[in-house]
Structure 1
Amino acid sequence: MPQLDTSTWSITILSMVLALFIMFQLKISKYKYPETPEPKSPSSSKKLMPWEEKWTKIYSPLLLPR
């Protein structure tokens, strides 16, 4: 039974890790991050819709008396 040749494994693993590192760096370098984060203005608060202002109760059919 022939032996498994593992002499090329180290160069294969090292080249794979290097290729993954380069691909990861290229992917990350495409993103544009804001230089200074700006806080949101308080005037852009969410406005309530007319149906959100009213309190409604939803009855489940299982809770109705028999």
Structure 2
Amino acid sequence: MPQLNISPWPMVILSMIVTLFFITQLKLLNFTFYTTPTSKLTKTQKHKSTWELKWTKIYSLPSMSQQS
């Protein structure tokens, strides 16, 4: 049985990898990458609540008022 000559294999493998790289680059060149949609700057409206219109005082509990 003859011996298999493997000397051209590295060149074949290298050329195959280079060819696959170029094919994928050409495929990706035709592919359209869509940009992410930019959010429109909307003017935020601040809604005033009743607690924002007046100043409120926070009272402590009666049991805590006489502590030292």
Q: TM-score, normalised by structure 2?
A: 0.50
Q: 1:18 corresponds to which residue?
A: 18
Q: 2:30 corresponds to which residue?
A: 30
Q: Deviations over 1:36-63 (max 9, x none)?
A: 4256xxxxxxxxxxxxxxxxxxxxxxxx
Structure 1, unmatched stretches of 5+, are: 40-66
Q: TM-score, normalised by structure 1?
A: 0.51
SS at match of 1:25: helix
Match runs of 1:1-66 below 5 Å: 1-38=1-38
Paired-residue identity, %: 44
Q: Which has the larger radius of gyration?
A: 2
Distance, in Å, in 2 between the alignment partners of 1:23 and 1:38 is 32
Structure 2, unmatched stretches of 5+, are: 40-68
Moved beyond 4 Å, runs of 4+: none
**Aligned pairs, number:** 39
